[in-house]
Amino acid sequence: MTAGIIRNIVIVGGGTAGWMAAAALSKVLGTQKYSLTLIESDEIGTVGVGEATIPTIQEFNRMLEIDENTFMRETNASFKLGIRFLNWSAQGSDYFHPFGTYGLDMNGINFTHYWMRYHLAGGSADFGLFNPQTLAARQNKFGRMAEINPKAPNVNYAFHFDASLYAKFLRAYSEEKGVVRREGKINAVAQAPDSGDVESVTLEDGGTINGDLFIDCSGFRGLLIEQTLKSGYTDWSHWLPCNRAVAVPCEKTRPITPYTQSTAREAGWQWRIPLQHRTGNGYVFCDSYLSEDKASELLLQRLDGKAQAEPRVIRFVTGHRTKQWNRNVVAVGLASGFLEPLESTSIHLVQEAVLTLLRYFPGKVITDTLRDCFNRDMLAAYDNVKDFLIAHYKVTKREDTDFWAHCKRMEIPDSVKFRLAAFEEHNHSLVEANELFKEASWFAVLVGQGLRPLSYAPQADVMAKEEFDWRMDRIREGTAALAGVMPLHESYIAGVCASRQRVGT
């Protein structure tokens, strides 16, 4: 138990994690009762990547009462309807993991079971026909349904944005709310001799900042959570072997696609993230199968626009900090772990950590129970994402390179084995209520990679054929109509950026 009133909160780091934490804490806790200080070092800088998100970020923006149109304009953002996966199952394969569900659940049965009936009776193998995000993405279209047709079902989305502009945007927001920014490099950390709690950090210029609660957003180095408190690291690289990324932005190409693209390569995969002013690119790979120099060379060859910088190599180990809240230090962002960017989940995990901290925020004392609650929830969040990512690699049919042969044959955790068995035998994804990736996501990835369940829920066979065929036709038409009414993504962005209308507040 850490005694004393929590008053001075110190955020160490001003990357996406630091400024998201500062914005949320200043909004929820205010700066009257609490003092909020953020320390960042211009000399060290930020990791400089992390531009694709998932729809939960809309909730974060809404909580901050951020006008979505202003956010789009200030961060040079584009909309994202999902991820297109190329070459993952086999060379030439192509599927889409959308932010949304398929068709319509009927009689309490998930639509995917009806799709299985439809497909096995000779219906199209293209399950994307039943998802509006997939159809809109294929046509480079996007529009918020709330504006186009408020009576129509919601079409969920997320964003691609410039990470440095997002941090700048949240910095202005936080400073306006009273967060104090200190620039400088921390070169010493003082701990209380009795409790071991962090008491203060000292900057190179000699300035000392005291705190009751420290939020470690210092990136991979984990300045407080690891370098000071030695909280340990749970290494998952035997299941998620990629440990390097080389990143480079290039000139934008048209059209600006409303999706992230992930192309499987010889020793990993390449991302393509379209922004308004440029395209972000990177090759995530495992250095046991490809050198950093070769990966950089291959990435440069495979850009679809002129490179705007030298490729930059980033090294990481997939896994998470074993204790994410230790003593009076809470790790958020890369300081808490990293699961590689395949499903764009890191910024979501930042958001999750900040909201979980606010949920269990200590009153007068930090108790072991509060710490345990936080650690339990965050480890579950990491664990669920981990299982979903492993499944992407495991179900590949590729054996054309040593990397893919390894992924196909690798041992996987029992939790993933059980899920894959339930899916392959019965089309059950075993998703629990609080999991991030729902049935539709597991279905999109597993069926997208060529798996076909051997059976499906027998209730899906109860409906008479005539009614079933009629319903499936109507659902498919309705889905096409939703995508059909959307404008082209690029013209929609232009309208959004010209507008000052408040959205989602």
Which residues share a beta bridge with 341? none
CB of 138 to ligand FAD, least distance (A): 22
* DSSP state, residue 366: B
Q: Is the peptide bond before 458 cis (omega within 30 degrees of 0)?
A: no
Answer for which of 58, 76, 112, 218 binds ligand FAD (CB under 6 A) is 218
Among 2, 13, 394, 493, binds ligand FAD (CB under 6 A): 13
What tokens does 440 get?
């539709």
CB atoms within 10 A of CB 260: 27
| Per-residue contact string for residues 120-159; x = within reach of ligand FAD by CB under 6 A | ----------------------------------------
Structure tokens at 118: 């439809």
Q: Looking at the annotation, which residues are catalytic?
A: 80
Which one-letter amino acid corresponds to residue 189?
Answer: V
- H/E run at residue 210: strand 208-210
Q: Are 234 and 226 in contact (CB under 8 A)?
A: no
- Cβ pair 289, 267 in contact under 8 A: yes
Residue 2 engages ligand FAD in binding (rule: CB under 6 A): no
Shortest Å distance, C-beta 45 to ligand FAD: 6
Among 11, 22, 25, 47, binds ligand FAD (CB under 6 A): 47
* CA 211 distance to own-chain centroid: 30
Nearest to 334 by CA among 345, 348, 350, 323: 350
Minimum distance from CB of 438 to ligand FAD (Å)? 18
**77 scored as a contact of ligand FAD (CB under 6 A):** no
Q: Which residue, 25 or 247, has its beta carbon nearer to ligand FAD?
A: 247
Of 119, 181, 221, 426, which lies in the binding site for ligand FAD, with binding defined by CB under 6 A? 221
- Using CB under 6 A as the binding rule, whether residue 17 contacts ligand FAD is answered as yes
Residue of 1, 7, 45, 126 interacting with ligand FAD (CB under 6 A): 45
Closest CA to 342 of 166, 30, 85, 64: 85
Angle made by CA atoms 385, 247, 100, in degrees to the nearest 5: 35
Considering beta carbons, is residue 145 or 303 the nearer one to ligand FAD? Answer: 303
Among 22, 129, 165, 245, binds ligand FAD (CB under 6 A): 245
Q: How far is the CB of 478 from ligand FAD (least distance, A)?
A: 32
Residues 443-472 that bind ligand FAD (CB under 6 A): none
Q: Which one of 28, 44, 358, 436 is in contact with ligand FAD (CB under 6 A)?
A: 44
Q: Is 239 a residue that touches ligand FAD (CB under 6 A)?
A: no
Residue 451 to residues 110, 226, 412, 423: CA-CA distances in angstroms? 18, 41, 17, 9
Q: Which one among 6, 23, 25, 50 touches ligand FAD, defined by CB under 6 A? A: 50
Q: Which of 24, 25, 39, 445 binds ligand FAD (CB under 6 A)?
A: 39
Q: Which of 145/331 has CB closer to ligand FAD?
A: 331
Taking the CA atoms of residue 17, residue 21, residue 23 and residue 28 in that order, the dihedral angle to the nearest 10 degrees is 160
In b/e form, how buried is each residue of 55-86, taking b as 16+ CB within 10 angstroms? bbbbebbebbebbbbbbbbbbbbbbbbbbbbb
Q: Considering the rule CB under 6 A, would residue 110 count as an interface residue with ligand FAD?
A: no
Cβ–Cβ under 8 Å, residues 18 and 168: no
CA 142 vs. chain centroid, Å, equals: 20
Q: Please say which residue, 187 or 288, places its beta carbon nearer to ligand FAD.
A: 187
CB of 169 to ligand FAD, least distance (A): 14
Q: Is 197 in the site for ligand FAD (CB under 6 A)?
A: no
Give residues 308-367 in contact with ligand FAD (rule: CB under 6 A): 314, 316, 333-335, 341, 344, 346-347, 350
Place of tokens 């309208």: 495
Interface residue with ligand FAD, options 282, 311, 362, 453 (CB under 6 A): 282
Residue 224 Cβ vs ligand FAD, minimum distance, rounded to whole Å: 10
Task: Encode 421-488 in three state secondary structure.
Answer: HHHHHHCCCCCCCCCCCCHHHHHHHHHHCCCCCCCCCHHHHCCCHHHHHHHHHHHHHHHHHHHHCCCE
Note whether 25 binds ligand FAD by CB under 6 A: no
**447/85 Cα distance (integer angstroms):** 12
Task: Tell me how far, at minimum, the Cβ of 213 lies from ligand FAD, in Å.
Answer: 17
Binding span for ligand FAD by CB under 6 A among 2-10, 12-20, 114-122, 491-499: 12-20
Interacting residues with ligand FAD (CB under 6 A): 13-18, 39-41, 44-47, 49-53, 163, 185-186, 217-219, 221, 223, 245, 247, 282, 314, 316, 333-335, 341, 344, 346-347, 350
